[in-house]
């Protein structure tokens, strides 16, 4: 039942926050903080206890009938992979509440309502084990995200929000058709109507497999985003309020990667193997393209947005290398990217709140004015370029170790991307924080709230960088179970 | 001969007719808006309740004209419920108009009667009677506010096009009669599977499709839709969009189910083209619209395209999917038009998108209802519209009509674009200039739209009860494409007045 509560607390908290917004602007913030904090603590408690569960496939599970006539179940289940994603979700949820503490001054109640509902949708995506429920949560998280962008976003928010919604909806509908195809083909071969993940595993799809897999792949590739389906991302990330950017980059993109790991490869092993060269190519292109585009941006927020394209390319590379090492790296990259990019968006949001601009040309010399903020930016910039000792390095290194066994060419191209990432990260730091303070900025440095956020994320990245094994153990357990369940076991060694 | 059991089975239809008579007499004695509206609602409520005593007698063939079975009673219930909502939202809307109020309800009742006859008809005579009762009432209803030019234009447009399409329909019926020698839907089947004149029959079927297509407003018979929706008073537009179309779709299911003409490749292709054209044209033409009523009109064109996709599957699941879709569509559009009605002033309808700018910050409840309705139309999860769209896609997938459902998916993304345009307006900053024109919010209207939005969300999250209701009421004999032997037996029983259905799930 705790899984239902994890989602329920957010839903109820959102409604409470929306009503509380009528009386006070402060109350919704505290309600959100308490609700998401409670979820975070619950998730950590589950994690601490997870070592005792041994070989059971799920750490926890809820399964009841929802629409029995169509074989739809309300089935939530938690394994190590879902758990890591949930902890990331709640941690970044707390960060986004804190990041909007002073940024959001209008319609505070409704803002936190949307914030918590988008988090609950994301949590639903990470927990759903019924494909209908998965699609339900998948689509549902878009609506509050759309509102976050369209109401509290920056100048071109309407354009960005509509583009984001259309991209994800279109790809989502293709996935829905693919889900239905899988459902009916499974019925044809077994006589059972079901959307249950574990039952659909191993369905013999024959010639349709590639097409059905592509339906899923497109939906996840748009979210990831894989080049050339990424064009919504720079707009949405740039125009969203800080909390929206954190959730988009830190979490929504991860739902795409999670979908690939959880559904595409296990459900369609043969098609995935057949498709892997193309996916690896897309990944390598994405890594280089994202880095080059990031380098050429003048809008600081857009720069950070493009780094996501590059980093998620690593995730795609790791997943379609189809071996355990690369997959572990992909999971690690997902988590570290959530922290480092989330922190960068917090910093950019903080800068924008102070300077009222995101233009790199307007900045410069800020180190003398705001040393703590600049130091934090340097740290996360270095994390982003993959400095050893920080989490991102571990993830990307593992991915490349794994992908080298599969495709040397893709790995070589990827290395160029890593090189390019050095340029954009250092350029960002140089242009914004070093050199003369030409515009004579006088702005306050990080306040205690912001400093607290930075410290949490810095500690997190250092910990992931020096002790990655704690996280790797949890995900290994889950990925091993995925192997046991799926017929690609032989493939993933 | 008609006996007591027949009367009880027909009670819903009889009560609607009787209410129309009573309302007419009441107008003769005393002109009172409250009285007319109250009598109408009481009559509709009575007719709705009388469905329950009629249920045990279903299925019952009454003469060769009408078949009262669970299918018909289900649709009669839906029609009465939506007509009642229209009556309730009409009251405050028309209260401030300087017109005679009583006739409005009279016409509304007659139109409802026409719809009820349509869903029960199994014969061309009752088909035409029902359709004409409906159409004639609608001409007057659409032009009811005769001081508004647009209303008059819409009424006349509808009159001319509806008459023309009725002429086509009659000609088609004549051709079928010439080929088959019968006007009963179920007998057409015997001819079509036997040695009859298939050319005449095919031409006749296509001509009847013209008449049906006009009422549904599907491409290429859609030209009246935006103008009529825009010109008609908002509650009447709601009736045209929901009740009248629901009845015609029910008739389509019955007509094609019993006559099983969908098995002909030609008829199938005609419908597939109509479906594709409606989905594309409806969604694409709506993109440039700035008038909410016109947006809803184009969206309804697209939605009936979706319905046809499910209808084309032609099996039991298709009937269920179409029926479920109609319930969802009716509730959704009534909510949307309900909001338009509530926001409209005595001078003009609130149909410009600018009327909705920043509405969420002024009237959060109404804006939320409209948001739910628009999301339901767009098929976003947690609304009834999503479940119905899912059902339609599933039906298409089960019948392996991949091209159709792919087009459905892609065009509905275009649809999302114009729904979002309204949603964006709802949540954007309110305009600087303050409207001096204040409107009094109708309490009955508010009650209705809020209730509808709760239904929309509840059924979107937990659709099982409604799904079961729809499933329980869909007559298996409406699908005859797959199992000719059993259908023939069922139809034989039908003619003897003891229509037996065997649920096979």
User: pLDDT by residue for chain A (493 residues), tens digit each?
Assistant: 789 999 999 999 999 999 998 888 889 999 999 999 999 999 999 888 876 555 667 888 888 888 888 889 999 998 889 999 999 999 999 999 999 988 888 888 999 999 999 999 999 999 999 999 999 999 889 889 999 999 898 888 889 998 999 899 889 999 999 999 999 999 988 888 899 988 888 888 888 889 999 999 999 999 988 888 899 999 999 999 999 999 999 999 999 999 999 999 889 988 998 899 999 999 999 999 999 999 999 999 999 999 999 999 999 999 999 888 899 999 999 999 999 999 999 999 999 888 888 888 888 888 888 889 999 999 999 998 888 889 899 999 999 999 998 889 999 999 988 898 999 999 888 888 888 888 888 888 888 999 999 999 999 999 999 999 988 888 887 787 776 444 444 444 3
Contacts of A69 in chain B (CB under 8 A): 464, 467-468, 471
- The partner residue sitting opposite B464, judged by closest CB among A68, A170, A174, is A68
- As to burial, measured by CB atoms within 10 angstroms (0-12 exposed, 13-18 middle, 19+ buried), residue B33 is middle
Residue B133's pLDDT band (cuts 50, 70, 90): very high
Q: Find the residue in A nearest to B409 (Cα).
A: A173
Q: Residue A462 in contact with residue A390, Cβ under 8 Å?
A: yes
Q: State mean pLDDT over B389-408.
A: 90
Q: Which of A140, A151, A177 sits opposite B381 (nearest CB)?
A: A140
Q: A177 and B406: CB-CB below 8 Å?
A: yes
Indicate the domain borders of chain A. 275-493
Contact A324, A472 (CB under 8 A): no
Mapped onto helix, strand or coil, the DSSP state of residue A73 is strand
In whole angstroms, give the CA distance from residue A185 to residue B402.
13
pLDDT(B308) > 90: yes
Instruction: State mean pLDDT over B69-91.
Output: 94
Sort out which chain A residues have CB atoms less than 8 A from B420's CB and list them.
Answer: 146, 162, 165
| Burial (0-12, 13-18, 19+ Cβ within 10 Å), B156 | middle
Within the 461-490 window of chain B, which residues sit less than 8 Å (CB to CB) from chain A?
A: 462-464, 467-468, 471
B430 neighbors B357 (Cβ within 8 angstroms): yes
Report which of B435, B485, B442 is spatially closest to residue B88, judged by C-alpha positions: B442
B324 touches chain A (CB under 8 A): no
pLDDT value at residue B83: 96
Residue of A7, A67, A183 to mutate, testing the B interface (most B Cβ within 10 Å of its Cβ) = A67
Residue of A169, A218, A239 to mutate for B, most B C-beta atoms under 10 A: A169
Identify whether the C-beta of residue A157 lies closer than 8 Å to the C-beta of residue A174.
Answer: no
Q: Does B398 touch chain A (CB under 8 A)?
A: yes
Q: How confident is the model over A331-366, as pLDDT tens digits? A: 999 999 999 999 999 999 999 888 888 888 888 888
Residues 6+ apart with CB under 8 A from B25: none
Question: How far apart are alpha carbons A128 and A73 in whole angstroms?
Answer: 10
Give the pLDDT confidence score for residue A123 in this predicted structure.
95
Q: What is the mean pLDDT of chain B?
A: 86
Q: Which residues of A make CB contacts under 8 Å with B?
A: 66-70, 107, 132, 135-136, 139-140, 142-143, 146-147, 150-151, 158, 161-162, 165-166, 169-170, 173-174, 176-177, 180-181, 183-184
- The Cα–Cα gap between B101 and B94 comes to 7
Q: What is the pLDDT of residues B468-488, one digit of tens each?
A: 888 888 855 444 333 333 333
| Whether B152 contacts chain A with CB within 8 A | no
Alpha-carbon distance of A37 to B66, in angstroms, equals: 64
Phi, psi (degrees; rounded to nearest 5) at A34: -65, -45
Q: Do A176 and B413 touch (CB under 8 A)?
A: no
- CB nearest to B413's CB, from A132, A158, A170: A170
| Ordered alpha helix ranges (H), A240-390 | 242-247, 253-259, 265-267, 269-295, 300-320, 324-355, 366-369, 371-385
CA distance A139 to chain B (A): 6
* 3 state SS of A368: helix
- What pLDDT is stored for residue A54 in this prediction? 59
Task: In whole angstroms, give the CA distance from residue B463 to residue B327.
Answer: 12
Q: Answer whether B409 touches A (CB < 8 Å).
A: yes
Whether the per-residue pLDDT at B496 is higher than 70: the answer is no
For residue B402, the chain A residue with the least C-alpha distance is: A177
CB-CB neighbors (< 8 A) of A143 in chain B: 375, 380
Site of tokens 């233009």: A359
Tell me the longest C-alpha to C-alpha distance in chain B: 72
pLDDT at B32 over 70: yes
**Total residues belonging to chain B:** 505
A162 contacts in B (CB within 8 Å)? 417, 420, 424
Q: Which of B393, B413, B428 sits opposite A169 (nearest CB)?
A: B413
Q: What pLDDT does residue A491 have?
A: 43
- Whether B490 shows a pLDDT value over 50: the answer reads no
Closest C-alpha among A143, A142, A150, A153 to residue A104:
A153
With an 8 Å Cβ cutoff, are B390 and A176 in contact?
yes
Q: B361: which chain A residues are within 8 Å (Cβ-Cβ)? A: 107
Give the one of B398, B416, B427 whose C-beta lies nearest to A184's C-beta.
Answer: B398
Question: CB distance B424–A107 less than 8 Å?
Answer: no
- Specify the 3-state DSSP secondary structure of B435: coil
- CA-to-CA dists, residue B120 to B73, B261, B373, B487, B498, angstroms: 8, 19, 30, 19, 16
Which member of B409, B416, B468 has the closest CB to residue A174?
Answer: B409
Is B416–A165 a contact, with Cβ atoms under 8 angstroms apart? yes
Residues of B in contact with A158 (CB under 8 A): 424, 428
Q: Are strands B66-68 and B60-62 parallel, antiparallel or unpaired?
A: antiparallel
| H or E element at residue B315 | none
Query: What sign for the dihedral angle of Cα B97, B101, B105, B107?
Result: negative
Q: For B108-137, what is the mean pLDDT?
A: 94
User: Quick one: pLDDT at residue B478?
Assistant: 47
Q: Reduced to 3 states, what is the DSSP secondary structure of residue A201?
A: coil
Q: What does the block give as tokens for A83?
A: 């758990």
Report the alpha-carbon distance of residue B388 to residue B378 in Å, rounded.
Answer: 11
Residues of A in contact with B462 (CB under 8 A): 66
- C-alpha span between B88 and B294 (Å, rounded): 23
Half-sphere exposure of A121 (CA within 13 A, CB side): 26
Residue linked to tokens 């009262």: B68
CB under 8 Å to B286, separation ≥6 — which residues? B294, B295, B298, B299, B302, B415, B418
Q: Looking at residue A380, what is its pLDDT?
A: 93
CB A66 to CB B410 under 8 A? no
Min distance A188 CA to chain B CA atoms (Å): 10
Q: Do B416 and A161 touch (CB under 8 A)?
A: no
Beta bridge partners of A128: A76
Q: How far is A111 from chain B (nearest CA, A)?
A: 12
Q: Which residues of B touch A173 (CB under 8 A)?
A: 409-410, 412-413
End-to-end CA separation in angstroms for chain A: 35
d(CA A489, CA B15): 68
Closest-approach residue (CA) in chain A for B358: A151
**What was the pLDDT predicted at B101?**
87
Q: How far is B24 from chain A (nearest CA, A)?
A: 46
- Token look-up 């919704």 returns A28
Burial readout B421-433 (b: 16 or more C-beta within 10 A, e: otherwise): bbbbbbbbeeeee
Residue A1: predicted pLDDT: 79
Please state the separation of Cα B210 from the chain's center in Å. 17
At B176-231, the pLDDT tens digits run 898 888 888 888 877 766 666 778 888 888 899 888 999 999 988 998 999 999 99
Q: Which residue of B has its CA nearest to A150?
A: B424
Residue A61 Ramachandran class (φ > 0 left, ψ -120 to 50 alpha, else beta): beta
| Cβ <8 Å between A147 and B410 | no
Closest approach of B393 to chain A, Cα-based (Å): 7
Q: Residue B219's closest CA among B295, B271, B152?
A: B271
- Whole-number pLDDT of residue B288: 86
Residue of A173, A188, A195, A207 to mutate for B, most B C-beta atoms under 10 A: A173
Judged by a CB distance cut-off of 8 A, whether residue B454 touches chain A is no
* Predicted pLDDT at B276: 95
A70, A142, A173: residue with CB nearest B412: A173
pLDDT on residue B500? 33
| Cα(A89)–Cα(A94) distance, integer angstroms | 9
CA distances from A280 to A283, A327, A407 (A): 5, 13, 8
Site of tokens 């690896």 = A280
Q: Is the peptide bond before B249 cis (omega within 30 degrees of 0)?
A: no
Q: Where residue B298 falls among pLDDT bands split at 50, 70, 90?
A: very high
At B313, the pLDDT band (50, 70, 90 cuts) reads: confident
Interchain contact, A162 vs B417, CB within 8 Å: yes
pLDDT of residue A232: 92
Does the distance separating the beta carbons of A139 and B381 come in below 8 Å?
A: yes
Chain A contact present for B365, CB below 8 A: no
Check CB contact under 8 Å for A150 and B424: yes
Closest CA to A198 of A482, A475, A478, A474: A482
pLDDT value at residue B479 = 41
How many CB pairs lie under 8 A apart between chains A and B? 72
């Amino acid at each position: 039942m705790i899984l239902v509560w994890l989602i329920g607390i957010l839903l109820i908290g959102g409604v409470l926050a929306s009503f509380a917004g009528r009386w006070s602007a402060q109350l919704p913030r505290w309600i959100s903080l308490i609700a998401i904090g409670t979820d975070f603590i619950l998730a950590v408690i589950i994690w601490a206890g997870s070592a005792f569960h041994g070989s059971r496939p799920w750490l926890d599970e809820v399964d009841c009938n929802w629409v029995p006539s169509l074989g739809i179940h309300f089935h939530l289940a938690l394994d190590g992979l879902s758990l890591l994603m949930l902890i990331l979700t709640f941690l970044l949820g707390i960060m986004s509440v804190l990041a909007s503490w002073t940024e959001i001054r209008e319609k505070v109640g409704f803002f936190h309502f949307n914030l918590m509902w988008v988090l609950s949708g994301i949590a639903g995506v990470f927990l759903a084990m019924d494909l209908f429920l998965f699609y339900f949560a998948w689509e549902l998280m878009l609506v509050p995200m759309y509102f976050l962008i369209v109401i509290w976003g920056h100048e071109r928010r309407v354009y960005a929000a509509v583009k984001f919604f259309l991209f994800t909806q279109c790809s989502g509908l293709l996935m829905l058709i693919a889900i239905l195809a899988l459902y009916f083909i499974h019925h044809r071969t077994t006589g059972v109507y079901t959307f249950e993940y574990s039952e659909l595993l191993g369905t013999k799809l024959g010639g349709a497999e590639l097409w059905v897999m592509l339906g899923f792949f497109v939906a996840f590739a748009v979210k990831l985003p894989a080049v050339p389906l990424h064009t919504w991302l720079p707009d949405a990330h740039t125009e969203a309020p800080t909390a929206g950017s954190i959730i988009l980059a830190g979490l929504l993109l991860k739902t795409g990667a999670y979908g690939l790991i959880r559904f595409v490869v296990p459900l369609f092993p043969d098609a995935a193997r057949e498709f892997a060269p193309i996916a690896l190519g897309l990944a390598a292109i994405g890594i280089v393209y994202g880095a080059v585009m990031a380098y050429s941006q003048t809008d600081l927020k857009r720069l950070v947005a493009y780094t996501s394209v590059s980093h998620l390319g690593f995730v795609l590379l790791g997943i379609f290398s189809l071996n355990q090492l690369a997959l572990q790296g992909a999971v690690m990259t997902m988590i570290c990217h959530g922290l480092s990019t989330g922190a960068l968006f917090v910093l950019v949001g903080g800068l924008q709140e102070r300077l009222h601009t995101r233009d790199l040309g307007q900045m410069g010399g800020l180190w003398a004015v705001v040393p703590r903020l600049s130091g934090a930016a340097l740290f996360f910039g270095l994390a982003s370029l993959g400095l050893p000792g920080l989490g991102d390095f571990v993830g990307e290194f593992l991915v490349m170790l794994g992908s080298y066994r599969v495709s040397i060419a893709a790995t070589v191209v990827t290395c160029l991307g890593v090189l390019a990432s050095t340029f954009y990260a250092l350029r960002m730091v140089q242009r914004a924080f070093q050199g003369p303070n030409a515009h004579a900025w006088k702005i306050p440095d990080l306040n205690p709230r912001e400093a607290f956020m930075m410290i949490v994320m810095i500690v997190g990245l250092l910990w992931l960088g020096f002790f990655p094994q704690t996280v790797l153990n949890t995900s290994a357990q889950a990925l091993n179970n995925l192997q046991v369940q799926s017929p690609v076991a032989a493939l993933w060694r | 001969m008609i006996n007591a059991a027949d009367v009880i089975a027909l009670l819903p239809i009889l009560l609607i007719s009787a209410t129309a008579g009573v309302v007419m007499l009441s107008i003769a004695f005393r002109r009172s808006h409250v009285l007319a509206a109250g009598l109408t609602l009481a009559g509709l409520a009575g007719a709705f309740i009388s469905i329950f005593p009629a249920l045990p007698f279903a299925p019952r063939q009454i003469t060769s004209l009408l078949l009262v079975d669970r299918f018909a009673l289900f649709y009669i219930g839906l029609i009465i419920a939506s007509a009642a909502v229209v009556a309730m939202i009409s009251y405050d809307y028309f209260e401030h108009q300087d017109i005679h109020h009583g006739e409005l309800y009279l016409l509304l009742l007659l139109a409802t009667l026409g719809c009820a006859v349509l869903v029960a008809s199994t014969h061309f005579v009752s088909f035409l009677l029902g359709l004409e009762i409906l159409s004639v009432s609608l001409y007057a209803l659409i032009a009811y506010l005769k001081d508004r030019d647009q209303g008059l234009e819409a009424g006349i447009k509808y009159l001319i096009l509806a008459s023309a399409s009725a002429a086509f329909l009659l000609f088609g019926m004549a051709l079928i009669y010439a080929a088959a020698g019968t006007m009963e839907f179920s007998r057409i089947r015997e001819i079509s599977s036997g040695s009859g004149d298939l050319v005449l029959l095919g031409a006749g079927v296509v001509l009847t499709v013209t008449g049906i297509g006009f009422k549904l407003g599907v491409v290429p018979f859609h030209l009246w839709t935006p103008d009529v929706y825009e010109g008609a008073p908002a509650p009447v537009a709601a009736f045209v969009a929901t009740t009248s179309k629901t009845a015609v779709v029910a008739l389509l299911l019955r007509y094609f189910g019993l006559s099983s003409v969908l098995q002909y490749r030609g008829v199938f292709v005609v419908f597939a083209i109509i479906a594709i054209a409606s989905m594309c044209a409806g969604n694409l033409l709506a993109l440039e619209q700035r008038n909410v009523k016109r947006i809803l009109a184009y969206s309804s064109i697209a939605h009936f395209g979706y319905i046809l996709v499910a209808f084309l599957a032609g099996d039991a699941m298709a009937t269920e999917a179409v029926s479920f879709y109609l319930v969802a569509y009716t509730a959704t559009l009534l909510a949307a038009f309900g909001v338009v009605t509530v926001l409209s002033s005595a001078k003009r309808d609130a149909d410009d998108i600018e009327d909705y700018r920043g509405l969420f910050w002024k009237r959060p409840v109404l804006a939320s209802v409209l948001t739910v309705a628009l999301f339901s139309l767009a098929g976003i999860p947690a609304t009834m519209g999503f479940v119905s769209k899912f059902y339609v896609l599933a039906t298409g997938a089960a019948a392996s009509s991949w091209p159709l459902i792919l087009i459905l998916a892609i065009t509905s993304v275009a649809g999302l674009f114009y729904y979002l345009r309204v949603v964006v307006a709802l949540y954007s900053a309110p305009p600087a200039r303050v409207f001096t024109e204040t409107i009094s919010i109708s309490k009955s209207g508010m009650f209705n739209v809020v209730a509808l939005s709760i239904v929309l969300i509840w059924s979107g999250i937990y659709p099982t009860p409604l799904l079961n209701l729809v499933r329980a009421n869909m007559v298996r004999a409406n699908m005859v494409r797959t199992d000719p032997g059993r259908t023939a037996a069922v139809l034989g029983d039908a003619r003897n007045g003891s229509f037996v259905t065997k649920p096979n799930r």
